[in-house]
Amino acid sequence: MALQTERKNAEKLKKPILGIIFAFSLIVPVSFYAGPLRLPPNMILLVLVFVPVFFSWVSGKAGRKLPVDYLILAASLWAALAVLLSDGLSNTVEPAGVAILQTLGAYLLGRTSVTNTDGLRTIVRVYLIMLTILLPFAFYETLTERTLYLDMFRPFGVVYPNLEIEPRGGLERVQAAFEHPILYGVFSASGFALVWYSLKKNGTTVFSLYGGLVSVVSSILSVSTGAVLGIATQILIIGWGWIFRNQPNRWRNLGILVILMYVSIDAVSNRSPFHVFVDYLTFNSGSAYNRILIWQYGTAQLFKVPFFGMGVHAPDWERAPFMSSSMDNFWLVVAVSYGIPGFLFLAGAMIWLLFKIGSRRELDQRTENLRIGLVISLIGLFTAIASVHLWNSSYCWMMFLVGSSVCLLNEGRDKREIQIEKAAKQREAQENEMREARKRRSMRQSL
């Protein structure tokens, strides 16, 4: 018993060093080339650690294997297969390898390096440090149109270009350390609820307020629909949770309310709920119309290649002549690129993980805060990327965060497990009561 306690304490003290290094590598915008292969620091790290983290998972060092692990494994292998089948081997080996590294590699790195809630809190703090580092450069960029952060790295290798993008609402769109403002915005918004909840101990603290403010300001500076949608979703859920904090079924009621809203809009509007939401949640009518066209043409393309998708030819999806190849919906891109099975594997993994983390009970207050913050952040992130695409370092961040989240399943107990145990105890109590009643009847009859 003492040995188990000692091991547990040693595990808690262990810092996710590899996870910390990987997180910081995501905001290093330098790339190196090995022939035609572009290798930013995060990809170099994934190449180096893929085999060790894979065998660490296979051997059980990262804990018991879970359905989410197999779904992510299936998603990455299916994506690689879809890419390989879409063109000749010489043109597809590299993108197939990248699909496995960015999906399975980033997930397993998070899964094996972040093994407890203390490690996950460390990653949240690292995330806030990264946002803090980038924020002054973001302010400078929005005021001057100069990508100072990117320019600092140009002497060391190939760096992303300074994109000439039309301002929105009088604000220059900031890309900071990323290829596009969309990616900076989604990255900045992805952890809002995480820093808000996990950095407070007894009520709201200075650190949680600071973290929330940095996340919101950074997201706004990107002037991205996805970022604003992600932040708004999280704030609305947090607000609902606070208003109905004394109601035990508040989250179930929120789910029912969302479904009722969708059905009501579908019943009373002459447009679909999707069209209504897109119209109100984008910056201008042109952007909204474009997203509606993307959905119409994208789903039509998907049903032409439903099984394996288009693979490397996904940018050539059929669309109106005036539309660009950009498809502003991550989930639709996955489906069109890798087919419906590829989408179902990845989306299924995310949904399973959300429900399982959401159903953990009997947690201490700090872990409960972390659980709530993580679930809300993931919901915000998965909602945000329904309006924008996600690629390269920002996609790696999402998969790493998902992998890191699995450690919460080691804490507390599952709600269903508690309900089953409670029901079993009730049955046992009823059976005992019935036995006692029979015994009393028997005694009366004998008298």
412 confidence band (pLDDT: 50, 70, 90): confident
**Rg, C-alpha atoms of the chain:** 24
370 confidence band (pLDDT: 50, 70, 90): very high
Return the minimum-mean-pLDDT range out of 10-24, 44-58, 122-136: 10-24
Q: Evaluate if residue 413 carries a pLDDT over 50.
A: yes
Average pLDDT over residues 286-308: 87
Q: Would you report the helix, strand and coil content of the chain in percent, each value rounded to 5?
A: 75, 5, 25
Measured at the CA of 63, the angle between CA 409 and CA 49, to 5 degrees, comes to 110
Q: Evaluate if residue 343 carries a pLDDT over 50.
A: yes
pTM, full prediction: 0.91
Return the pLDDT at 2. 47
Return the minimum-mean-pLDDT range out of 174-188, 259-273, 307-321, 419-433: 259-273
Q: How far is CA 381 from each of CA 143, 178, 239, 289, rounded to the nearest angstrom?
A: 28, 17, 17, 23
- Say whether 37 sits in a helix, a strand or coil: strand
Domain range summary for the chain, segments of one domain joined by +: 2-411
* pLDDT tens-digit map of 62-79: 889 999 999 999 999 999
Instruction: Compare 32 and 273 and report the one with higher pLDDT.
Output: 32
**Which two three-digit tokens encode residue 437?**
């009643």
Highest mean predicted confidence (pLDDT) among 150-154, 196-200, 223-227:
150-154
Average pLDDT over residues 206-234: 92
Average pLDDT over residues 410-428: 83
Average pLDDT over residues 357-378: 93
Give the residue carrying structure tokens 């606070």.
242
382 confidence band (pLDDT: 50, 70, 90): very high
Query: What CA–CA distance (Å, rounded) separates 246 from 255?
Result: 17
Q: Evaluate if residue 18 carries a pLDDT over 80.
A: yes
Query: What CA–CA distance (Å, rounded) separates 84 from 106?
Result: 21
Average pLDDT over residues 110-123: 95
Average pLDDT over residues 26-54: 92
Q: Are strands 360-361 and 413-414 parallel, antiparallel or unpaired?
A: antiparallel
Q: Evaluate if residue 279 carries a pLDDT over 80.
A: no
Return the pLDDT at 1. 47
Average pLDDT over residues 362-383: 93
**CB burial readout 143-170, b (16+ within 10 A) else e:** eeeebebbeebeeeeebbeeeeeeebee
Q: Evaluate if residue 410 carries a pLDDT over 70.
A: yes
Q: Evaluate if residue 12 carries a pLDDT over 80.
A: no
Query: What CA–CA distance (Å, rounded) separates 104 from 86?
Result: 21
Query: What CA–CA distance (Å, rounded) separates 50 from 118?
Result: 24
Return the pLDDT at 338. 96
Query: What CA–CA distance (Å, rounded) separates 306 from 90?
Result: 24
204 confidence band (pLDDT: 50, 70, 90): low
